[in-house]
Amino acid sequence: MKIRSLYFYCLSLCLLLCFSAFASTPLCKTNPIQGGIVILPIAKITQTKPRVYFHDLPVMTLKKNKQWVAVIGIPLTQKPGRLSIKVETPRSTKQEFFSIKHHHYQTEYITIKKSSTSRPNKKFLQRYTRERKMMKALLNHWSNRTPASLHFYRPAQGRISGRFGLERYFNGVLSSRHRGIDIAAAEGTKVHAASNGIVLNTGRYLFTGKTIFIDHGQGLITLYCHLSKILVKKGQVVRHGAVIGNIGHTGRATGPHLHWGVYLNRTSVSPTLFL
């Protein structure tokens, strides 16, 4: 009996080891446009994991079937055309090429009478500049952990009230791009972690209100803004779908909604590609 249990133990351990050696991370959708994602095969799985760079920034590299693939986030401001990544292995450095197409995102034109705009005070501007720097540093974070999955849990139930990429023009001048999606729902609606990860930080910011940053590994960060409550702490491990907060309208928000952002190689990408 003992020998039989040992046999099954060894067999399941072997299966587990084999599975983890060849397991692939479920991937997101691809869309070769500004704000989209490109997935490129770069090497055979038998080779050492290559190091990949796009615009000199490290790029996520995952196993897919019998290959290493690069998962590249394309900036909203990227000029369309032929682009390349640098692929480094212990033996060689090569370039791989791909192309992205132009995409026309929704635009919104807002006209404000000059007399109705007031200049923000010095204290406000100082806080805004400080917070912008802090948020940028968090969104630029890189950890070597392999993401559990690029198939995300929808972080909240509700109506999509703001699309990714929307260009806002104030008095004819491009003033901002919408770097996430807005999900409108009643104040207090549960907000869930999109995938397994570690809470990188939480905070209360002027524009985004109560905010959570989750690190999923290899430059993949999700952002949850305007919350009424934050239920997690910095450094906490969260599981796919875990409740991390509640919808609110803290910061600059006209009504209760979740602004959900996804960042990859330091650039915001369309969150819907992960759903």
Cα 38 to Cα 35, 75, 147, 263, distances in angstroms: 10, 11, 17, 14
Nearer to Zn ion, 147 or 179 (CB): 179
Is residue 226 involved in binding Zn ion (CB under 5 A)? no
Smallest distance from Zn ion to CB 84, Å: 32
Q: Which residue is nearest to Zn ion (CB)?
A: 259
Site string for Zn ion, 146-165 (x = CB under 5 A): ----------------x---
Contact 274, 150 (CB under 8 A): yes
Among the listed ranges 4-12, 89-97, 205-213, 254-262, the one in contact with Zn ion (CB under 5 A) is: 254-262
Smallest distance from Zn ion to CB 252, Å: 10
Nearer to Zn ion, 216 or 259 (CB): 259
Nearer to Zn ion, 75 or 162 (CB): 162
Smallest distance from Zn ion to CB 259, Å: 3
Sheet holding 167-170, edge to edge: 107-110, 167-170, 173-177
Query: What span, in angstroms and rounded, lies between the C-alpha atoms of 107 and 27?
Result: 30
Nearer to Zn ion, 182 or 215 (CB): 182
Contact 259, 208 (CB under 8 A): yes
Interface with Zn ion (CB under 5 A), residue total 3
Smallest distance from Zn ion to CB 178, Å: 6
Nearer to Zn ion, 196 or 268 (CB): 268
Q: Which of 259, 263, 264, 270 binds Zn ion (CB under 5 A)?
A: 259
Query: What span, in angstroms and rounded, lies between the C-alpha atoms of 244 and 226?
Result: 13
Smallest distance from Zn ion to CB 46, Å: 44
Q: Which of 25, 69, 164, 182 binds Zn ion (CB under 5 A)?
A: 182
Footprint of Zn ion on residues 29-58 (CB under 5 A)?
none
Nearer to Zn ion, 32 or 162 (CB): 162
Per-residue tokens: 54: 């796009």
Q: What is the dihedral of CA 70, 62, 27, 106, to 10 degrees?
A: -30
Nearer to Zn ion, 69 or 183 (CB): 183
Which chain residues interact with Zn ion by CB under 5 A? 162, 182, 259
